[in-house]
Structure 1
């Protein structure tokens, strides 16, 4: 089978031919991959900003068809369409017992499919059966490829609730995460939403989603702040991972405002915030890690959003073959697309 293997020591991504995994454990399933996305975190892994296993098949945004099951698997059968939740816990540690399995030292990020165990940039991948979720029969296969990113955003969405209609919202970054957040805001009736994005290509893509939300550049945001010091927002959702943008965002918050950090910054990055400002305005800062208990919720969001919001062309998603991985990565970095997805069917 074809795979994209990443050598983290050499920082090399190579297309290889390797055997299909020959033997399953009793509780695993072999999945014939249909679609596997490239996440922004994958780009940071490729650059060495985020640690991964020494040699690994990346790809944690996966959907496909069950090809084979282990002896003890009864939740799915060969032929079932499934989306893969890459996140799991050990189930017995204090974090898992408290319902925070994404903090688990044995599981969570430390056992993530496509990071520390082989993932979906391949024709086949092996995953625990409990992490394979049945795709509803009426859901388009291509939309199911967005289940994992939307599950992480679902977790972030929960962390900014309750949020009254009429509140002013600022989204930093119009990559796929910022676009999906905007779709959820629009679906739920929010209209006072501004999106800030430096790349022209991504701003054009965002306009095609047709939310009617304002989209501006960082320079335009600074000009607005200079001309109207009282222009403030109630919620900032950061999807950029840019520490300078985070520092500026805190200054834009109203009394009682919230900064929710979704974008992934490099581990060594830091941003400064005034403790007095937090005190004076009673500001809240939270962050979003992975997707605990959000996978089924994500599928419900996909059903609600459907092609009105999530059509690949409208959302700026482009499909590539595995062999075209260099082109896919270039397009994603350039901002001419919001997301790249490998298609193996």
Structure 2
């Protein structure tokens, strides 16, 4: 089968052919991969900025497909079922796992993610444990199913931020795929006073395709609005960029009692400056979102409810590539020419 594998020592992607994996344990499921996304985290991995397996590994932690074989203990899915894969799990032994915080697990969580530390979905077939499988409803197609993992992370962020009263003023920083998914989710939930800040005008065009009527501006325009109106600001700021100057700008625009949600993944060495006095005076809350603990079922619910109105690839700025076109996909994503790349296997 075709596969796109990453050599962590050489920091090199290789398009190659490897054997189709075989079921060797009773709880395993073999999936024929249909669609597999390229995440911003993948770009950090390829650049050597995010920890991954020391061994050569098939990347891809966002993928959907069809079940082609199951182990003897697997009962909740059958051959032919459409599924998506939750790549994260805990060890199920530590205090974090028993407290319901599997994303904090030192053995599992982000330390054992399928497609980062274990072979993932950038291949024709993927072998995964049955507890990672989520069956897709008939109303959800495989293209949408490939978005289940990032939307499950949004679902976790939504739970942390809630409640956000309808009528709140909200700033979304960054109009990549995560920013556009947040825009879609907020609009779906009834929010209308939303501003999106993004320096790349092409990305803002993708956001405009979502037809939400939101205010789409650049960071310079955002700053000018603040200078022209001392009361200009927001109740909630959701950063999807991981860019520290943008985060600091968003923090400075929060009203009293405001919430800052750090969703984007920053460079490990990056820092922001925070005034404790301002936090005290305004009673600012700073929240961070770490993957998707027990959020996958909710993400399927969001996908089913949002449907083509919000999750059409063309509206979101998603472009589909063959696996062999990986160089083009990565380059276009890095250059901001597309909001997201997805491989069609």
Partner residue of 1:35?
35
Equivalent-residue separation in structure 1 for 2:43 and 2:225 (angstroms): 32
Equivalent-residue separation in structure 2 for 1:203 and 1:24 (angstroms): 47
1:182-331 superposed matches below 5 A: 182-331=183-332
Partner residue of 2:9?
9
For structure 2, the 5+ residue unaligned runs are none
- Check conservation: 1:24, 1:69, Cα contact below 8 A: no
Partner residue of 1:162?
163
**CA-CA distance at 1:152 after TM superposition:** 0.5
Aligned residue for 1:66, secondary structure, equals strand
Equivalent-residue separation in structure 2 for 1:267 and 1:292 (angstroms): 22
1:73-88 superposed matches below 5 A: 73-88=74-89
Partner residue of 1:133?
134
1:32-181 superposed matches below 5 A: 32-54=32-54, 55-181=56-182
**CA-CA distance at 1:246 after TM superposition:** 1.1
- Check conservation: 1:205, 1:316, Cα contact below 8 A: yes
Equivalent-residue separation in structure 2 for 1:23 and 1:299 (angstroms): 27
**CA-CA distance at 1:274 after TM superposition:** 0.4
Equivalent-residue separation in structure 1 for 2:210 and 2:164 (angstroms): 23
Taking structure 1 as the reference length, the TM-score comes to 0.98
Segment drifting more, 221-230 vs 202-211? 221-230
Q: Deviations over 1:256-284 (max 9, x none)?
A: 00000000001111111000100111000
Equivalent-residue separation in structure 1 for 2:217 and 2:201 (angstroms): 10
Aligned residue for 2:159, secondary structure, equals helix
**CA-CA distance at 1:71 after TM superposition:** 2.2
Aligned residue for 2:166, secondary structure, equals coil
Equivalent-residue separation in structure 2 for 1:196 and 1:127 (angstroms): 38
**CA-CA distance at 1:66 after TM superposition:** 1.1
User: CA RMSD of the aligned region, Å?
Assistant: 0.9
For structure 1, the 5+ residue unaligned runs are none
Q: How many residues align?
A: 344
Aligned residue for 1:13, secondary structure, equals strand
**CA-CA distance at 1:22 after TM superposition:** 3.1
**CA-CA distance at 1:229 after TM superposition:** 2.3
- Check conservation: 1:238, 1:262, Cα contact below 8 A: yes
Q: Deviations over 1:172-231 (max 9, x none)?
A: 000011111111111111111000001111011111110000110111111112222221
- Check conservation: 2:22, 2:30, Cα contact below 8 A: no
- Kindly report structure 1 stretches of 4+ aligned residues shifted beyond 4 Å: none
Equivalent-residue separation in structure 2 for 1:81 and 1:191 (angstroms): 34
